[in-house]
Structure 1
Amino acid sequence: MIRNPIDIATRVSPNLSALIESRVNDPDAEQPITLATVRTFVAGLLPAAFTEVEQLHHFDIDASLLDELDALIEEYGEDALAIDFAQNTASEPLSRVIDAVINDENRQNPPTLETIREAIASGLPARLVGDGVLEDDEDDALLGEIEALIRRYGADSLAEEFLRYE
């Protein structure tokens, strides 16, 4: 398998990145997950009549993901590891949580992903909702997201490296 530089993930749409992440993290998926594996999965989601032009506009997201995958496969090859194309940034709500922990004046050291997990588990998102930093529904998935980042990058990774600014 050929490993690609991490910065190629910045060229991948958030939808495709999330799809790749879900395939890579699927315990039932065969390993290793390549671009060809992801393409086969996406193609399997499309209706059989996909080739009919009138069907295309009903499935823009899937068709565009397939087009995006085809372009990546053309450039990097079908055996390229899919994980290299997944973005390694936090969602916007998680970025706001990380930012709040980084800017805590009582903090001595830069926070790690584990520090952020502990802050989430200790109720920081509820306080941020109360302060208007997060919306009510934005705090639901934070714990799962930080735990996925910890599984992938390790608890001691610096949280600021995952900040996403939009």
Structure 2
Amino acid sequence: MIPNSIDVSSRVSPRLTALLLSRINDPDTEQPVTLIAVRRFLADLLPRDFREAERLHRFDVSESLLDELDALIEEFDQNALALDFAQASASEALSRVIEAMLDDENNENPPTLSQVRAALLDGLGARLIGEGVLDDDEDDTLLAEIDALIEQFGENTSAEECLRYE
């Protein structure tokens, strides 16, 4: 399979990234992990009533992980490797948070991922929204994203290593 020339991982939500990484990093999972394998895994976790309703499209679950996976499968093929869709770096919004911490003259050392998480919990996201660095809706997923990066790389990893440069 030819790797996708665009950065498709930037279009994947932090929740789906965490799921993809959990399947990719599971030692009991057969390799290579494809999008359809992740979808089957997720569908098997859902209650039978939900699966039936989802199959019959009785209600809108447009924000669900299944819908997100289905859209990726439709666009890129069910056999696309899940690894190609797992974010290995921070989103643009989280990169701005990390850069704000790097630019803070009160920090003696570059922040770790756990320090970024603590700063977000202490209101850094809201402050950056107030300063116009982040849009109102960008703060919603930052904690889930930083948690996924911590799970992937460890809490003591330098946040600077996860910056996305575009």
Structures share fold, TM-score greater than 0.5: yes
Q: Secondary structure at the match of 1:35?
A: coil
Q: Percent identity between the aligned chains?
A: 43
Gaps spanning 5+ residues in structure 2: where? 44-54, 56-69
Q: Judging changes above 3 Å, is the alpha-carbon distance between structure 1 residues 9 and 124 closer, same or farther for their aligned structure 2 residues?
A: farther
Q: Verify: 1:138 aligned to 2:138, yes or no.
A: yes
Structure 1 residue 142 displacement after superposition: 0.8
Separation in structure 1 between the aligned mates of residue 94 and residue 13 of structure 2, nearest angstrom: 17
Residues matched between the structures, number: 134
CA deviation map 1:86-134 (0-9, x unaligned): 3310111111100000000111011110110111011011110000000
Matched with 2:74 is: 63
Matches within 5 A, 1:13-162: 13-14=8-9, 15=11, 19=16, 21-25=18-22, 31-32=28-29, 34-41=31-38, 61-66=72-77, 69=80, 82-83=82-83, 86-162=86-162
The AA in structure 2 aligned to 1:23 is L
Separation in structure 1 between the aligned mates of residue 135 and residue 17 of structure 2, nearest angstrom: 27
Separation in structure 2 between the aligned mates of residue 165 and residue 153 of structure 1, nearest angstrom: 18
Q: With the length of structure 1 as denominator, give the TM-score of the two structures.
A: 0.64
Separation in structure 2 between the aligned mates of residue 151 and residue 9 of structure 1, nearest angstrom: 25
CA deviation map 1:15-67 (0-9, x unaligned): 469656423336xx89326334434445999x9xxxxxxxxxxx874332217
**Contact in 1 for aligned 2:17/2:148 (Cα 8 Å):** no
Separation in structure 1 between the aligned mates of residue 5 and residue 18 of structure 2, nearest angstrom: 14
Q: Judging changes above 3 Å, is the alpha-carbon distance between structure 1 residues 146 and 10 closer, same or farther for their aligned structure 2 residues?
A: farther
